[in-house]
Amino acid sequence: MRTLAPLGDTSAPLARRDPVAKLAAMMVLTIALLAAVDPVTPAAALAAELALVPLFGVRYRALLRRSGTLLVSVAGIAVTQLLFGTSDSGPVLLDAGPLVVTAGVATTALGLALRIVAVALPGLVVVATTDPTDLADSLTQHLRVPARFAIGALAAFRLVPLLAAEWELLTLARRARGVDAGGNPVAYVRLVVSTAFALLVGAIRRGTRLATAMDARGFDSHVPRSVARPRRFTAADAAMIAGAVGIAAAAIGTSVATGAFRPLM
Amino acid sequence: MRDVDLDIAHGERVLLLGPSGGGKSTLLAALAGLLADSGEQAGEITVDGLPPADARSRVGILFQDPETQLVMRRAGDDVAFGLENRGVPAERIWPRVRAALERVGFGYPLDRDTASLSGGEQQRLALAGVLALEPSLLLLDEPTANLDPDGAALVRQTLDRSLRGDRATLVLVEHRVAEALPLVDRVVALSPGGGVLADGPPDEVLRRHGDALAALGVWVPDAEPVPRRTRPTAPPGPMLLTARQLGYRYPDSPAPTRSAPERSAPALAGVDAEVGAGEAVAVRGPNGAGKSTLALLLGGLLPPSSGAVVASTALAGRYAGRPPHRWRAAVLAERIGSVFQNPEHQFLAATVHDELALGPRRAGHPAADVAKTVDDLLERLHLAHLAEANPHTLSGGERRRLSVATALAAAPRVVILDEPTFGQDLRTWTELLDLLSGLRDDGTAVVAVTHDADFVAALADRCLDLERPA
B33-70 residue pLDDT tens: 888 666 667 788 888 888 888 888 899 999 988 888 99
At residue B223, the pLDDT reads: 66
Task: Quote the mean pLDDT of chain B.
Answer: 87
Q: How far apart are CA A68 and CA A75, in angstroms?
A: 11
Q: Which of B424, B358, B349 is nearest to B389 (CA)?
A: B349
Predicted confidence band at B153 (pLDDT cuts at 50, 70, 90)? confident
Q: Which residues contact A231 (CB under 8 A, 6 or more apart)?
A: A18, A134, A137, A138, A141, A142
For chain B, what's the residue count? 470
Q: For the beta carbon of residue A219, count every other beta carbon within 10 angstroms.
A: 21
Q: How far apart are CA A6 and CA A10, in angstroms?
A: 7
3-class DSSP assignment, residue B31? helix
At residue B327, the pLDDT reads: 94
Q: How far apart are CA B265 and CA B278, in angstroms?
A: 35
pLDDT tens-digit map of A53-86: 999 998 898 888 888 888 999 999 888 888 877 6
Q: Which residues contact B321 (CB under 8 A, 6 or more apart)?
A: none
Task: Quote the mean pLDDT of chain A.
Answer: 88
Predicted confidence band at B141 (pLDDT cuts at 50, 70, 90)? very high
Q: How far apart are CA B303 and CA A110, in angstroms?
A: 46
Predicted confidence band at B97 (pLDDT cuts at 50, 70, 90)? very high
For range A86-98, the mean pLDDT: 73
Which candidate in B348, B370, B402 is best for mutational testing of the A interface (most A CBs within 10 A)? B348
Q: How far apart are CA B100 and CA A198, in angstroms?
A: 38
Residue A239 has pLDDT above 50, yes or no: yes
Smallest Cβ–Cβ distance between A213 and the set B63, B73, B340 belongs to B63
Query: Is A154 in contact with B71 (Cβ distance < 8 A)?
Result: yes
Query: Is B69 in contact with A213 (Cβ distance < 8 A)?
Result: yes
Contacts for B375-384: CB closer than 8 Å, 24+ residues apart:
B377/B405, B377/B408, B377/B409, B378/B352, B378/B353, B378/B405, B380/B405, B380/B435, B381/B405, B381/B431, B381/B435, B382/B431, B383/B352
pLDDT tens-digit map of B233-286: 666 788 999 999 999 987 765 444 444 444 456 788 889 999 999 999 999 988
> What value does the CA radius of gyration of chain A take, rounded to a whole number of Å?
24
At residue B101, the pLDDT reads: 95
- Is A224 an 8 Å CB contact of chain B? yes
Query: B 199-238 residues with CB below 8 A of A?
Result: none
Q: How far apart are CA A244 and CA A30, in angstroms?
A: 10
Residue type, A221: S
For range B10-30, the mean pLDDT: 86
Distance spanning both ends of chain B, measured CA to CA: 51
Which candidate in B85, B127, B248 is best for mutational testing of the A interface (most A CBs within 10 A)? B85
ipTM confidence score: 0.85
- Is B350 an 8 Å CB contact of chain A? no
The DSSP annotation for B134-188 comes to --SEEEEESTTTTS-HHHHHHHHHHHHHHHTT--SEEEEE-SBHHHHGGG-SEEE
Half-sphere exposure of B228 (CA within 13 A, CB side): 9
Range in A56-65, A78-87, A107-116, A164-173 the model is least confident about: A78-87
Query: Is A217 in contact with B301 (Cβ distance < 8 A)?
Result: no
Q: How far apart are CA B275 and CA A87, in angstroms?
A: 71
The percent of residues in chain B predicted with pLDDT above 90, rounded, is 50
Q: How far apart are CA B261 and CA B252, in angstroms?
A: 15
Residue A109 has pLDDT above 90, yes or no: no
For range B191-210, the mean pLDDT: 89
Query: Is B348 in contact with A194 (Cβ distance < 8 A)?
Result: yes
φ/ψ of A125, rounded to 5, equals -65, -40
Q: Which of B60, B218, B66 is nearest to B143 (CA)?
A: B66
B329 contact residues in A (CB cutoff 8 A): 174-180, 182
Cα distances from B398 to residues A190, B166, B432, in angstroms, run 28, 37, 11
Q: How far apart are CA B293 and CA B270, in angstroms?
A: 13
| Chain A residue at shortest CA distance from B32 | A216
Cα distances from A12 to residues A46, A58, A125, B28, B190, in angstroms, run 20, 9, 12, 48, 60
φ/ψ of B446, rounded to 5, equals -115, 120
Query: Is A223 in contact with B86 (Cβ distance < 8 A)?
Result: yes
The DSSP annotation for B400-447 comes to HHHHHHHHHTT--SEEEEESTTTT--HHHHHHHHHHHHHHHHTT-EEE
Cα distances from B155 to residues A125, B20, B146, B173, in angstroms, run 41, 22, 11, 14
pTM of structure: 0.83
A204 contact residues in B (CB cutoff 8 A): none
Q: Which of B234, B292, B261, B320 is nearest to B419 (CA)?
A: B292
Produce one character per residue of A116-135: b if its CB has 16 or more CB atoms within 10 Å, e if not. Answer: bbbbbbbebbbbbbbbbbbb
Query: A 139-198 residues with CB below 8 A of B?
Result: 151, 154-155, 158-159, 161-162, 169-170, 172-180, 182, 194, 198
Q: Which residues contact A242 (CB under 8 A, 6 or more apart)?
A: none
Query: Is A177 in contact with B69 (Cβ distance < 8 A)?
Result: no
Query: Is B71 in contact with A155 (Cβ distance < 8 A)?
Result: yes
Please, where are the H alpha helices in A53-184? Answer: 60-66, 68-84, 103-129, 132-142, 147-158, 160-176
DSSP bridge pairs for B170: B13, B138
Query: Is A217 in contact with B82 (Cβ distance < 8 A)?
Result: yes
At residue B256, the pLDDT reads: 46
- Is B368 an 8 Å CB contact of chain A? no
CB of B308 within 8 A of CB of B270? no
